[in-house]
Structure 1
Amino acid sequence: MVVEFLHRWLEGKTDIQWRPEIITFYTAKKTRWGLSGLEQISVQEIGVADVVLDIARMLTTPKLDRSWFEKDPKEVVQKLGTLQSELEITRDNHLIILDNTETMANNDADVRALATQVNELSRRIGRVILTSRRRELIEALPVQTENWDDDEGAEFLRKRGATLRCNSIAQAGVSTLKRYSRQLISKPIALEVFVQAAASQNNGLEAAFQRVQKMQRQDLGQFLYEDAWGRLTSDLRRVLLLMSRLGDSHDQYLFQLCCQRVGVTVAAASEAIEESRGIGSFSRIEGAPQITLSPEFYNYCVERYEITDGKREPTDDDVNWVKHRYQQFLTSAEAKVNDRALQAFRTPAARAAWKSFNEGNYPEACNYYESAVLEDAENGWLFDRYAYTLMRTRQLDAALEQSRKATRLLPEEADTYFTRGMIESRIGDIANAVEHLDKAEALGKSKHLCELQKTYAYINAEPQDLIAAQGCVERALRLAPKDRFYSRFMEEVTRLQRRVY
């Protein structure tokens, strides 16, 4: 894409205000994909210092003196800056394109060092455009490259066909070129090889198209993703392979199940997909998160395996486990909810959580809630119900975290402060429990219920304050109305009386 941009610029087809005097193009590419399939073109480890030496040779002589090779990357950049000043070349009239920088670093330390060196290059030598299939740790303006439309794809085919003197391209109508461009998803790399195939021995367009399709299935994925694959941990590779066995498109819960089966957090898997550009994309369909693997990456994964302790993974058991759990989820997601906070259960995952909770399967409910809050992240009632479920499973720290989100999103709702006060009472945090239960009462929660919950705070505190706990129970009994919930209230009072008297 960058090379095509430069061609259009130099040919005067792209209007641009800034015109550098020098353009340096440097590729760190180690493999290429073309008419001969996947080819290894370099095994050399390349860094920014190599780029600088190349620029110095082009500006002076192919044979540089030894002083250029005795410096670290920062110093050699500074030396080139001095040379450019002597030649009256400023940073603002030198454009540098670094192509495929993902091959210039193999680990986190190298990625950080690369960022520092590229920043130095940009500060002293020239303005820099870099391309990478990795999210680089560089403060830069990201350029969103949109997919070509049919017109652009057809224009590219016509232009390259003329350059390669391809008769079949020259004789084809615009609609035909658009159709082939669309079938190749207007992907520049595929269009380029398509023209090469059509020009080779003057093959017809359909024969060229079939050849490119076969080549894409065979090794395009390897060209595009081999370096990214090597950077992933074994666990992350297993998640992606498991996903590929289930299709190329996944909703949030299916994605979570794949992560759960392998033992990887959703956050780590999401970061890996976003960091390795081109693996897949995140979107929202009718408000729900969706993860879609790119066609080339899906083809790259679908027949691969990861070997763990001599065993090929993912196994059929892994795939069947995810399918079974996902089917259970779909069934639960259709449940009719009967809850005082119906607005908490707007998504399928939330409804599945409600059903599991009411069936007494609290761990399963927590899993569903984890998916639900990712889909409906501004729903304070959902966080409140999740917090209550976590409290019931004695995960009090996690429960408090979710309850804080609920009160932040719903600062005027009594029930969210009541839930938060309940959790803080179980922790034994007297001050915060009393504060938030009083807040719930001020917003309309029944006083006898708030007093009863304060009892837990005094019991669970270190040290216990049984006198204060007894006072809470007595006030709760004195204030309780004889309504349809009285028998349930008295059951809890009886349990507490055994602990405080």
Structure 2
Amino acid sequence: MLHKYRNILASARQTEDEAKKFQHLCSFIRSTTQVAAVSIIEIYSENFLSDEGLDLNGILRRLHHPSDGDSIYILDELIPRLRSYFWPSLATGWFESYKLKGGEPEQALSRDLQQWVAFRNDRLGHGVMDEQLTQEWSSRTEHLANKILHVLEDILPKKLDDGSASVQTPAGRLTLLTPIDAEKQPIVIRNFRNKRGLWSIEAQLLNWEKSPSMRLDVPDGARTVTFLPEPHGKFHSRNITANGKKNTILANVPTRQSSIFEGRREEQDELLDWLVDCESRACLIYGDGGVGKTTLVLEIVNNLLDDETELSGSPPTVVSYYSAKLTKWTTSGIIHFKSISTAVEDSIRELLLVFEDSLSKTWYQTQGRALVDRVATNLRDAGLERDDVLLVLDNTETMARKLGEEEDLAKLVAQISRKVARVIMTSRRREKIEARQIELLPMKEIDALRLLRRLGEEYSADAIIQAGDARLRKIAKNLGRKPLLIDVMARHVGATKGSLDDAYATVMQESTEGLSEFLYEDAWMRMTESHRSVFLSITCLDVPLNSRTVGWVCRELEVPHTEWLNSFYETYFGQITEYGSDYQMEIEGFAVDFFKIKIEELGGREKSKIKDVANKVENLALRSEKAHREYIKDRVDEAFRTPSARAAKVAGARGDIEEAIEWYEEAIKEDPHNSYLHDRYAWFMMVKARNIDKAIKLAERALAIEPKNADANLTMALASYRKGYLSQGDNYISQAVKNGKPENLGLLRMGIARFHEAISSDLHETRKRLLKDSIILLRNAATKTADTDPFAEINLRDAEKYLRRAITEDKKRGPQ
């Protein structure tokens, strides 16, 4: 790759037109920094997994929807970690002044690139480039491109004879699994896509003459698409650029419902116009079922979060999505909301999960206008005004079905939109509410045709691919030009390999129930016995269907989770709402009835097996939820009980280190005897601000207030380990376990600490001893991990990964 990049740079230098040269070099910098980011993520993930100071999932989200600054951010985060762990000479010149051969000392490359990004966002994004600036920045960018090839040389992969790309690290040669080139040329990454559990990269060739778009498959196991489990916390940070400024949005929005979106340009423009029109408090998108209301909203909001939308105004700080269902799961099982107000109130309570991991019972005792006022006050105390919050209420027609409920809904939403958040609603009705109203009609003929064509390719529906435009126009018209029915038609043709006439006749059956029954039976007949058992088992569950509970069912039945998900995607049994690496699943009502009939048809032994699996998973879910609630109750409720403390948490989640520190300092003045607050501040200083000495002082204060604070003991242990004080860290681990921390967590942290000490030691005997101790501790940690531990998946994964690494290091170093 380095050789190819040098040739491309030499070609760019020959360009006489300075404006074209500057554009070419900008693409060059984008490609080289992206490839370096991919490389360093793979190196880091292969060698080290657990690092409390790093949000690896956040790193991956930045890579998946990259702006120019995101690659720089990733390198800023990972270069110092790899230097500390095992590669001290990595990327010399990234943070420090650097001298090219025969040249004068220059400022750090990271700083150069940040200035380049700022200039691009200012002048190219929102300003004007004059001739003098073009010449100046063409020259500066050329020099910057050359500097990148020198400073990042070690992590720009080498292409091998077999076509693979690899990087030579101190731990050995690492083969990259993520595609970084195509047609023997480097690429520029546009974004990563996940469809049906299969990842791909949308990219363009780095080619001056022709830069076609393409989709590259990302193989299973690639470290750039391997998210860590996230056991709790609904809101995740997303970074975008608006008006030339970096903005962080905290969002709990599902991913797009489909990777194929066609048409709706006027409706998209109107919704975007509403987003920046802060005078309008609410927006209603209404239309018949199946016309694509939810799809439109999720497309717009995801484009915003992926930094693919040019906003003329300021973006919201918080975006919360709430699907309007009249059920909710608690540790007591599924509960049914008795009124419209209860369901809507639940949507604004969820906003508080931006800075609280759980809500106390008083939040559920407060209702109506009092709840709206209290939520508004709490958000305002955390620095969030109404215009900073966007609330999406999806499918509100399900929330008001009786006489008088529509007016109640309108009144409650009006209160929310005045005091708490701007609101987007989707409904099959034209709700009686003061809002900008956007009616979604059937698709335009040309858009419906294009959608049918694209879906035909997507589902390998030969009959659609081979049909003429006139035939497909007629079918789309007869389907009401509704995206939902068009999708059903295309999927059916692809799955059955039948004719258009047969598929159309099936889709157009008079009874929705009849259509569903046909599609269900057809899917059932094509399914393996083991996959059927998973469907029947999850039908019996009285807990939420999500990536964790469905994964447990698959494990009990010895069915690969990903394999079963691919089977699910080929059916019409329900829908999955994806949240990055996690998902929520909903089985259609008709499908539930279908499965219940299938369960009754089973023999006694098979039926008992299905019931036993469901009961076991239900118990696991209840115990895990209880453990999680108990784990966070004292730490969160007590730590963030003042407005300043909540503001500190929000600022920290946004990544604003300085503002968070200011709020934490204010919080400990207001609440000086709060041990949990001091511990959370200590944790923040250690993992975010990277100020270990300050963290130790805060943790010591937390333990002086409450010596049995298990979290503060754990914080002190980790800080001690980072200072290299193993014995001191072990003592604090012992106290943390004694006061309630899981034993496997203590063993894990002790094992990881010894591993890091071992690889940083220059003494052979010391390395061997520490690695042996690390292996024993990590093995014990892996065997003692329990499903009910709220962090079981993360801890087990850490233990197994570090165990493999320690064994490899032990064998590699060998006797000397």
**TM-score (ref. length: structure 2):** 0.23
More relative contact order, 1 or 2 (CA 8 Å, 6+ apart) = 2
**Superposition TM-score, scaled by structure 1 size:** 0.36
